[in-house]
Structure formats: C-alpha cells, structure tokens
Chain A
Amino acid sequence: ELKVEQNPLFLSMQEGKNYTIYCNYSTTSDRLYWYRQDPGKSLESLFVLLSNGAVKQEGRLMASLDTKARLSTLHITAAVHDLSATYFCAVDEGGAQKLVFGQGTRLTINP
C-alpha cells in the first residue's frame, strides 16, 4: 500500500525567510505532484515531477524529486504573505492520475 508522508504538518514562518517542505513516499513511483489549497477552495496545481532529479521552479517555489530516496521537496525562498496556504504532495498510484495524498502542510507566513 502506497503511503505518502509530509513534514512538517504545520509551519509558521516570517516573511523573507526560506524553508523546505518534505514529502516521502513508500513505493516506487515516477509521478509526483505538488498542490496548493486555499481555505474553502479546490486544489491548484503547482508542479508535476516526472523523473529522478527533476527540478521545477515557479516564482519563489522550487520542487525537486529524488526517486531513489523516494523523496520530494518543496522549497520556499524569501517567503511572502501570499504564499500562506496548505500544500499537498501526491503520488500517482498506477500511472493514471489516481493520487495518494500526503497529510498536507499548513503554511502561515507572518509579516
């Protein structure tokens, strides 16, 4: 059974600081997703990582994938308040967008 674990689950940080969210998964997969969710809203796609060593960046967010270690990271650079949200990683179970989600990381960025 595929399990996906994120840490930390809660993260409170100051604007301007850097931090990393970690996502570990238990079985082999070559598709890993990162999503953002604002309160009361659905999921907003951030990144799709498809191969070992993949690195993608968008603005202050950068995601990477190490399939050998079964680890993905979401790095936040010089955080701003607008990045406050819950971030989920998810792993594709079987290659047909059937996703298993991590617990989510609730990120709060304080001025």
Chain B
Amino acid sequence: GAVVSQHPSWVICKSGTSVKIECRSLDFQATTMFWYRQFPKQSLMLMATSNEGSKATYEQGVEKDKFLINHASLTLSTLTVTSAHPEDSSFYICSPGQGVDPEAFFGQGTRLTVV
C-alpha cells in the first residue's frame, strides 16, 4: 500500500505562533491531499482539500487565512496553522487521494498543542 509520511508527530507551540505540518507521499504521486482534524474523543472531520498546482478548497467553517495549505509538488503537501490559539489544539491527519487504488491511506498524524 501507499506510504504517507507526516511530520512532526507532535508539536507544542505558544499561542500566536505558526506551525507547519508536512505530509509526503513516498511511493506515488499525490495530485490531491485531504487534511482532516480530530478533536479529543471526536471523529475526523475534513478541513480542506489541496490540489497540486492550484488553490486548496476549504470546508465550511474552516478559515482559509488561518490554515494555509500548499501543494507545490506531487509528493509534498503542507498545512500551516497561523497565529495558533489553544482552540486549534487537535490531531491533524493527512490522506492522499489516489483514484486508482480504492484504499485510503493516512499519515501518522500530528498532535498540536497550543499553550
């Protein structure tokens, strides 16, 4: 199956700072990357979809200026949480969209804690 590497696995940052999360597809080209967020004891919710070479699309209620997504290459998508606040503390998980293989793969996740 496809290998997806997400980094960092956890990060603690001060309120008001920015954090970048990287998601790399190691053995295939990901034209699409889905970014999910999971609050404690809740389910996963799609935040945004990034597409290589074009603007990301955001789900309703997700601030595009706060969650900056870059998908500059077919193997790397990044999510930057800008001016982080404690309410942004969550588990962020990436998943590439493939289209050919029906299997859906996920990164290892990033636990963000904003203090």
Contact = CB atoms under 8 A, between A and B. Distances in A.
Nearest to B93: A42
B48 to A, nearest CB: 11
Contact-size category for A = 20 to 34
Which of A33, A45, A50, A96 neighbours the largest number of chain B CB atoms within 10 Å of its CB? A96
Interface stretch (A16-24, A55-63, A67-75, A99-107): A99-107
Contacts, number: 60
A15 interface: no
B107 to A, nearest CB: 6
B95 A41 contact: no
A48 B42 CA distance: 22
Interface string B28-51: 000010100000001111100100
Contacts of A31: 102
A99 to B, nearest CB: 6
A54 to B, nearest CB: 11
Interface in A82-111: 88, 90, 92, 95-104
A50 B104 CA distance: 12
Contacts of A99: 34, 44, 46, 95, 104
A87 B34 CA distance: 20
A92 B104 contact: yes
Contact of A96 (B32, B45, B93): B32
A102 B44 CA distance: 8
A50 B102 contact: yes
Nearest to A31: B102
Contacts of A102: 43
A88 to B, nearest CB: 7
Contacts of B1: 45
A63 to B, nearest CB: 14
Interface of B: 1, 6, 32, 34, 42-46, 49, 93, 95-99, 102-109, 111
Interface of A: 31, 33, 40-43, 45, 48, 50, 88, 90, 92, 95-104
